[in-house]
Structure 1
């Protein structure tokens, strides 16, 4: 702080100037005269500015206003910006910059229910996930720097700041200044590298610390899955231990080193093969083969391929549906726990038929109610509506008829049992069925298509498929 005064001791007004350390701002303090001292005037202020070497971009309007206010109100006017320098523009080299939407570091807290306002913390988004072909970064051209000018008119050199210049890494490519993801996966970036990891590793399991998992690539899962949390993948899933299941889906295969526990409501689905040590109280569905090494207890297993169970395995109180056959070590137990086995059935078509039949039942109920209402009444509009519903029902029944032709997927499907099959087990092949009434050992069941019945015979060598492709990684 510096002051130039006529004579402060005589009560003259004082004008003080302070220049910021970077030389880009000058602020003034205007102190009024005391008693008969001389008031502030512009000549005095100009003299002070000259002595303090303030000459660039002076705000004369602010100065005149402060002088008038100080002299009129006899009060101190401070922190008045009286001059502003011209800041320099930095010189920035060419660089890659990640798209702004991916630079978000704070996770989305969760989805808000519009009706209740409650936050579902399972819907948190903690991973930066990109899809194949999505733009993740762009190249910014170099920025030429420009000198600045201080309030004293002195040139300020062009700054050259340190700027992150990351390179492209794994699973990304740059073309014409645009960086895109070659695969769907997790986007990782820092000052050195921009890359996409196709495999997500969850060493601590899935829970509130992760939210639901929706990932376009593969996943390796270690640790527990908390109840109510879902996993949905565009690739394969490798589960390293036994897990509780709410809902798991994978576009490719699922391999579980332990077991799958569903507590009666859990569902595991995959378009690729599924392999597990055991399953219990869970529904498992696949378009490819399913291999269960040890046991299936109170489970539902459905596949468009084969179900194969390992040696010494057991199936108790379960439902097995396989388009191309079931190969088990044993089925049922001495207590007569019911096991239903369907072979040669396309469970996807069966489900479509069931859905259509439920729609037909609902339409039939509505038609019956309308007809009851129309008895003894003349209501043309209601009659037209009844006819529309009947037409809809006929259309659905036609769809059911069309689907029935593809329900039986393979009349050559086999149900083979190496060890024992116990009473209480029911074997279905296509639309024929066989009720096991006495223990059988080492048998295979096949459909006699001409007679429309299921026949059983001693198990032949080579009936069981080789398991290498199911047991291998």
Structure 2
């Protein structure tokens, strides 16, 4: 019997579902599951057929006079996933959180983590889109799936993309930044438009740092390039492999330090600790500060004043005025690299300590030797004697090495013919001039004078 009269078949518009419904209740007894399968096939329904639903319909067809029964379900297509750019640096703008230390305390200065990238470093990579998975209609027809959309790099400045267009690299050392329209850039300069305070935190950058404000006490800036401050610096720590330029000066209160691999320039320095691989240039004054420069310290602007503290330079110190009428102690030292002079001081202190330890060992060994001669040396004393002999031998070798190094440094102090201190204006009493290993104390105020080593003594001259 043809069930087409007894049972109505309907297919959804998207061809994803097929339904059957009893059309002629009087013919219900003639319905079988096999007949229903043939009926569906005749209506081109061949995929996703639900056997249990057909069986239920065949058993109780009268249940489906008014309610159609779902007897076939297609498989929906699965769209492919879109490709994307995997940025290897976090470029999201998040509220800065302070660093929590191991002991539970919080350092509110450790807020900022810059996206530093080195030249040649991978900064982003492209993840390919995936293909879609086709679906199947109940009529057996494939339903095309949408493939994922490929992502494309948005190339900014100082970045390069490989030939396969799969990876992006930094061309220079710098800061990875996302700008308008999602472009990735690497900038060699990091700028702070304001003060370095608790809103910014410490800075550690692979390029040059520019601060358009002040650097407050307790904060730190480290830069592989230069540091430029348009304001002033308090008791902070500034370290640059290049140069440091401070427009409004340093007022440190004997806290923190400023260290540059090349030059340090500032309008003034007060109670500051400053170290430069080459030159320190100050336009106004250096007051009660510790300043060291591998080459020269220049302070000869309109004021050009150095008062108090210690100024050290490898070759030259130039100033307009040094000291004051109150004979404030001021030390000017040239003729040896500051780091060598510092090493020499440390060596002398270490030699003194080693000699004291050797003296103690000698005295203890003398007593133990006396006990050995008297035959009263116990096993534990014998062990102590062995240890002291080893300590003495090690200390003697260490002492000899340190003395050799001292001799090397002191020998270099002799080669200081070019070292010079030049005072354009007045140098006051209380000033100490050191050239190499020689020292001269200024007893009376003197104007326009240069100090230089000649014939084993520091001489004065006005010819410069």
- TM-score w.r.t. the length of structure 1 is 0.73
Asked if 1:339 corresponds to 2:305, the answer is no
Shift of 1:220: 0.8
Asked if 1:416 corresponds to 2:422, the answer is yes
Residue ranges of structure 2 left out of the alignment (5+ in a row): 1-13, 17-32, 53-72, 369-381
Partner Cα separation in structure 2 for residue 414 and residue 23 of structure 1: 97
**1:401 match:** 407
Secondary structure of 1:312's aligned partner: coil
CA 1:376/1:102 → structure 2, altered by over 3 Å: closer, same or farther? Answer: same
Q: How does 1:146-161 map to 2 (within 5 A)?
A: 146-148=133-135, 158-159=145-146
Q: Select 1:353's aligned residue among 341, 344, 347.
A: 344
Residue 239 of structure 1 contacts residue 256 of structure 1 at CA under 8 Å; is this kept in 2?
yes
CA 1:265/1:365 → structure 2, altered by over 3 Å: closer, same or farther? Answer: farther
Q: Select 2:108's aligned residue among 121, 132, 138.
A: 121
Residue 423 of structure 1 contacts residue 437 of structure 1 at CA under 8 Å; is this kept in 2?
yes
Secondary structure of 1:167's aligned partner: coil
**1:65 match:** none
Asked if 1:316 corresponds to 2:299, the answer is no
CA 1:150/1:391 → structure 2, altered by over 3 Å: closer, same or farther? Answer: farther
Q: Which range is displaced more, 132-141 or 247-256?
A: 132-141
Partner Cα separation in structure 2 for residue 291 and residue 280 of structure 1: 14
Residue 98 of structure 2 contacts residue 108 of structure 2 at CA under 8 Å; is this kept in 1?
yes
CA 1:58/1:443 → structure 2, altered by over 3 Å: closer, same or farther? Answer: farther
Partner Cα separation in structure 2 for residue 286 and residue 246 of structure 1: 16
Residue 327 of structure 2 contacts residue 430 of structure 2 at CA under 8 Å; is this kept in 1?
yes
Q: Select 2:241's aligned residue among 238, 248, 251.
A: 251
Shift of 1:454: 1.0
CA 1:329/1:244 → structure 2, altered by over 3 Å: closer, same or farther? Answer: same
Partner Cα separation in structure 2 for residue 87 and residue 106 of structure 1: 38
Q: Select 1:167's aligned residue among 154, 157, 165.
A: 154
Q: Select 1:432's aligned residue among 429, 432, 438.
A: 438
**1:186 match:** 175
Residue by residue over 1:200-232, the C-alpha shift from the partner in whole angstroms, topping out at 9 and shown as x without a partner, is 001122233333211110111122323221111
Shift of 1:370: 3.6
Shift of 1:311: 2.7
Shift of 1:106: 4.8
Q: How does 1:227-376 map to 2 (within 5 A)?
A: 227-309=217-299, 310-376=301-367
CA 1:101/1:198 → structure 2, altered by over 3 Å: closer, same or farther? Answer: closer
Q: Select 1:135's aligned residue among 109, 118, 122.
A: 122
Secondary structure of 2:194's aligned partner: coil
Shift of 1:297: 0.7
Residue 132 of structure 1 contacts residue 182 of structure 1 at CA under 8 Å; is this kept in 2?
yes
Shift of 1:255: 1.2
Residue 223 of structure 1 contacts residue 241 of structure 1 at CA under 8 Å; is this kept in 2?
yes
Superposition CA RMSD, Å: 3.5
CA 1:106/1:415 → structure 2, altered by over 3 Å: closer, same or farther? Answer: same
CA 1:152/1:294 → structure 2, altered by over 3 Å: closer, same or farther? Answer: farther
CA 1:91/1:111 → structure 2, altered by over 3 Å: closer, same or farther? Answer: closer
**1:145 match:** 132
Q: How does 1:23-38 map to 2 (within 5 A)?
A: none
Asked if 1:453 corresponds to 2:457, the answer is yes
Secondary structure of 1:441's aligned partner: strand
Partner Cα separation in structure 2 for residue 256 and residue 433 of structure 1: 33
Residue by residue over 1:220-254, the C-alpha shift from the partner in whole angstroms, topping out at 9 and shown as x without a partner, is 11223232211111101111011213211111111
Partner Cα separation in structure 2 for residue 305 and residue 23 of structure 1: 86
Residue 135 of structure 2 contacts residue 143 of structure 2 at CA under 8 Å; is this kept in 1?
yes
Partner Cα separation in structure 2 for residue 359 and residue 217 of structure 1: 39
Residue 114 of structure 2 contacts residue 203 of structure 2 at CA under 8 Å; is this kept in 1?
no
Secondary structure of 1:123's aligned partner: coil
Residue ranges of structure 1 left out of the alignment (5+ in a row): 1-21, 25-42, 61-82, 464-473
Partner Cα separation in structure 1 for residue 15 and residue 261 of structure 2: 68
Residue 130 of structure 2 contacts residue 147 of structure 2 at CA under 8 Å; is this kept in 1?
no
Shift of 1:287: 1.5
Shift of 1:300: 1.6
- Alignment: residue pair count: 392
Q: Which range is displaced more, 424-433 or 375-384?
A: 375-384
Q: Which range is displaced more, 359-368 or 102-111?
A: 102-111
Residue 89 of structure 2 contacts residue 123 of structure 2 at CA under 8 Å; is this kept in 1?
no
CA 1:314/1:56 → structure 2, altered by over 3 Å: closer, same or farther? Answer: farther
**1:63 match:** none
